[in-house]
Amino acid sequence: VVCFTVVIFSLQTKYDFTSCRGVLVVCLVVLMLFAILCIFIRNRIMEIVYASMGALLFTCFLAVDTQLILGNKQLALSPEEYIFAALNLYTDIINIFLYILAIIGRAKE
């Protein structure tokens, strides 16, 4: 449901999310540093926060990658890069699913 909603939103909006790709990469680095911190400090609340931030970040990546595939924005993928585009969408959706599973799993403990 989340992925479908984000894809529909990316199709409808006039805002160009492709220009935010650099900010998302910086946020991904911060998320990785937070993951390293979560390894050493085992806390259920921190792990839920980590999974929530990861799900939100990869939801933003899904919006950006959808607009990259559609084109007509600042950045776009060429039709020859369809395998790369499919892998981008696949990894975004799988990561969102894994982070949502982590949130549900930690919330039930």
What is the C-alpha to C-alpha distance for residues 96 and 44, in angstroms, rounded to an integer? 19
Angle at the Cα of 18 from the Cα atoms of 30 and 24, rounded to 5 degrees: 5
Per residue in 38-59, pLDDT (tens digit) is: 999 989 999 999 999 999 999 9
Looking at residue 2, what is its pLDDT? 84
pTM over 0.85: yes
pLDDT, average across residues 32-36? 96
One-character DSSP codes across 3-67: HHHHHHHHHH--S-GGGGHHHHHHHHHHHHHHHHHHHHS--HHHHHHHHHHHHHHHHHHHHHHHH
Per residue in 55-84, pLDDT (tens digit) is: 999 999 999 888 888 877 777 777 788 888
